[in-house]
Amino acid sequence: MSLNSLTVKKLLLAAGLLLVLGQGLWQLPALQDYLSPVDQGKSILQQARKECPRIKNDLRTLKARVDYLTWFQAHDGPDQKISADRLYAFPFSESIRSLVPGYFWQTNIRLAHKNRLRVERKLQYLQALLKNIDAEPPALPAKAAAVSGTMKQIQQFHQQYRQYNAQLIELTKQLTWLEDHGYKK
């Protein structure tokens, strides 16, 4: 190798490392907040807007699973018919319910806990987003109406978080009770 190609390789390596360092620094949240606080706030609000319907949907699924287990516990017996609505909502569970009720029960308890954990993780993520936006210094846009609209959105997200958290706590209590007092055959 000639001296010239070795020098070129060293310069390219240094330039590449500097480029990676620059990209890494650009991704730091503190630097993004400093350089463009309005964009970061909009991004956080957009993430919260996306996350709330997902949490609501997962809570609805968890409630349906808990209701299904409650119904099974109340109507346990050999004369249970397969329900078309429940077959549509829970195809696998409904098809094995009459054949192996113990496995059915354990599977649905496990699926309900899996859904509960998913909701907990999403609520923790939403809480972190809200803490991040609360800690962010208010930007100074041209209009005060934009600030009040943003503050209303943040308050709505806080209210939804509290509501979703309360629903999760109630469903967790019901699920724990069902797990402790559930199917025993």
pLDDT in tens, the chain (185 residues): 566 888 888 889 999 988 888 887 777 766 666 666 666 778 888 899 999 999 999 999 999 989 988 887 877 655 566 666 666 666 666 666 667 777 778 888 999 999 999 999 999 999 998 888 876 555 545 455 556 677 888 899 999 999 999 999 999 999 999 998 876 65
User: What phi and psi, each to the nearest 5 degrees, are found at residue 128?
Assistant: -65, -40
Q: What pTM was computed for the model? A: 0.69
C-alpha distances (whole Å) from 11 to each of 1, 21, 22, 32 are 16, 15, 16, 29
d(CA 27, CA 21): 10
Q: Are 93 and 104 in contact (CB under 8 A)?
A: yes
The architecture that CATH gives domain 36-181 is Up-down Bundle (1.20)
d(CA 125, CA 131): 10
**What single-letter amino acid sits at 108?**
N
Nearest to 168 by CA among 86, 97, 112, 96: 112
Nearest to 41 by CA among 165, 122, 164, 140: 140
- The confidence score (pLDDT) of residue 75 equals 72
The size of the chain, in residues, is 185
Q: What residues contact 156, with CB distance under 8 A and at least 6 apart?
A: none
Nearest to 119 by CA among 170, 182, 180: 170
Domain ranges in the chain are: 1-35, 36-181
